[in-house]
């Protein structure tokens, strides 16, 4: 707008010579100049506001990507916890199975010892007699 005012200031005298002149009172000219300066400053503020809005949008996008990466990590951690729990459940089942097999083997060992002692006692009794 200032540029337009400067151009008008140089062009108006040239145009005024070729046409009828229009005279603007000094207070009105001052008010027009003041309004043009205010309009320029408002445009500058508007441009700064646009830039700030773009930066804010970029910031929001960045924060959203960080949040989504944390969500993915949370899902991965949940999966890891579920896998660990299932691993411990399977280990518990194997331990129970091994306990049962151990009991069975102990019982068989005791039975074998008893039968062996009885067999040896029977053979000894037969040999002594």
Contacts made by residues 104-109, CB under 8 angstroms, sequence distance 24+ = none
pLDDT at 83 over 70: yes
Dihedral sign, Cα of residue 61, residue 62, residue 63, residue 67: positive
List, in order, residues 6 or more apart from 37 with CB less than 8 Å away.
1, 2
Residue 88's pLDDT band, with cuts at 50, 70 and 90, is very high
Domain residue extents for the chain? 2-128
pLDDT at 16 over 60: no
For 19-75, the pLDDT digits (tens) are: 566 777 878 778 888 887 888 888 888 999 999 999 999 999 999 999 999 999 999
pTM exceeds cut of 0.85: no
Residue 99's pLDDT band, with cuts at 50, 70 and 90, is very high
């Amino acid at each position: 707008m200032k540029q337009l005012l400067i151009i008008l200031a140089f062009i108006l005298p040239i145009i005024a010579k070729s046409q009828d002149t229009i005279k603007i009172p000094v207070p009105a000219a001052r008010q027009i100049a003041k309004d043009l300066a205010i309009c320029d400053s408002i445009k500058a503020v508007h441009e700064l506001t646009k830039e700030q809005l773009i930066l804010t949008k970029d910031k929001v996008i960045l924060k959203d990507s960080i949040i989504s990466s944390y969500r993915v990590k949370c899902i991965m951690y949940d999966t890891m916890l579920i896998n660990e729990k299932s691993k411990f459940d399977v280990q518990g089942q194997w331990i129970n199975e091994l306990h049962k097999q151990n009991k069975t083997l102990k019982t068989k060992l005791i039975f074998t010892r008893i039968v062996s002692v009885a067999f040896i006692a029977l053979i000894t009794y037969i040999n002594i007699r």
